[in-house]
Amino acid sequence: MKWKRSERLVDMTQYLMEHPHKLIPLTFFASLYESAKSSISEDLTIVKETFEERGRGLLVTVPGAAGGVKFIPTMTNEDVKVVAKDLMEQLSKAERLLPGGYLYMTDLLGNPTLMNKVGKVFASAFANEKIDAIMTVATKGIPIAHAIARHLNVPVVVVRRDSKVTEGPTVSINYVSGSARRIQTMVLSKRSMEKGQRVLITDDFMKVGGTINGMKSLLEEFNCELAGIAVLVEAEHEGEQLVDEYLSLVKLHEVNEKSGTIALTEGNYFVKGGSLDEGSINN
């Protein structure tokens, strides 16, 4: 089949979207579409301009024999604000209130469209970091971790509360869980990470930061480095904060069971980091 430019553009867009953060040699597309490298170059310029004009991502060109193009999914801060606003609106509904001042969030974590956006939000903020894996703790952080991982093209590592026979040998640590100050355990399969990897930790909810601190201790046991921390919702609280360097999309200030009010603001995402633009991207 002989490919027309219009068909190449459609197929190329699809291919790039399914292979983010992956260097693709121009010769790959040239042979896939049986087209000259110069035509492929022109196609990619159109794709690049469209992606960047619309703030949907960057197309980075790496020159040289080992070069190619790399699609970096990004979101404009404006689009991130829309996601944060939507999340705040949903979270502020009184019917989410559970006894003890907890908020029901399970439906949001089960919404693949929202998770896809949240994944892109954080993948965008960490697009410029060297990241080898995303770590989270079972169960609720898993959809967020996978969404980020898909946009960064790296594996997900899931920490568990208990060890399972299907995990093989594990490393376990004890940590002090947040407000209740209870000693808890978390375990991770020895096979899941290699020494020296740079890891982005993520979770759906953070208060004092005990769980995230536990994951940081695990990183030390594996001789891995912390590349960043991304939380969907952080909660204001009195007393010590165990974790400083994190990015949050939304901040929960107050939950009043009596009046049924839930007070939320944007998280520190827009203050601390935010999305990348083309100027700030490294390869």
Backbone angles phi, psi at 203, to 5 degrees: -155, 165
Q: Determine, following the binding rule CB under 8 A, whether residue 23 of this chain makes contact with its own copies.
A: no
**Stretch of 163-171, 194-202, 223-231, 245-253 lying at the interface with its own copies (CB under 8 A):** 163-171
Would you say the C-alpha torsion 85, 146, 46, 277 has a positive or negative sign? positive
Per CB under 8 A, contacts with its own copies among 93-122 are: 98-100, 102-107, 110-113, 115-116
- Beta partners for 262? 255
Q: Determine, following the binding rule CB under 8 A, whether residue 77 of this chain makes contact with its own copies.
A: no
Cis status, amide bond into 45, omega within 30 of 0: no
Among 29, 51, 122, 126, binds its own copies (CB under 8 A): 51
**Stretch of 5-13, 78-86, 206-214, 244-252 lying at the interface with its own copies (CB under 8 A):** 5-13
Phi-psi region of 63 (alpha: psi -120 to 50; beta: other; left: phi over 0): beta
**Stretch of 8-16, 173-181, 195-203, 238-246 lying at the interface with its own copies (CB under 8 A):** 8-16
Q: Determine, following the binding rule CB under 8 A, whether residue 194 of this chain makes contact with its own copies.
A: no
Contact 214, 197 (CB under 8 A): no
**Stretch of 45-53, 214-222, 224-232, 267-275 lying at the interface with its own copies (CB under 8 A):** 45-53
Contact 107, 87 (CB under 8 A): no
Among 121, 127, 158, 229, binds its own copies (CB under 8 A): 158
- For β-strands 97-98 and 102-103, DSSP reports them as antiparallel
How far is 20 from 130, CA to CA, in rounded Å? 14
**Stretch of 14-22, 85-93, 209-217, 258-266 lying at the interface with its own copies (CB under 8 A):** 14-22
Q: Determine, following the binding rule CB under 8 A, whether residue 138 of this chain makes contact with its own copies.
A: yes
Measured from the CB atom, the residue of 155 and 273 that comes closer to its own copies is 155
With b meaning 16 or more CB within 10 Å and e meaning fewer, what string describes 217-228?
Answer: ebbeebebebbb
Backbone angles phi, psi at 75, to 5 degrees: -130, 145
Residues that bind its own copies (CB under 8 A): 1, 5-7, 9-11, 13-14, 17-19, 46-47, 49-51, 53-54, 56, 98-100, 102-107, 110-113, 115-116, 138-140, 142-143, 146-147, 149-150, 153-158, 160, 165-168, 189, 191-192
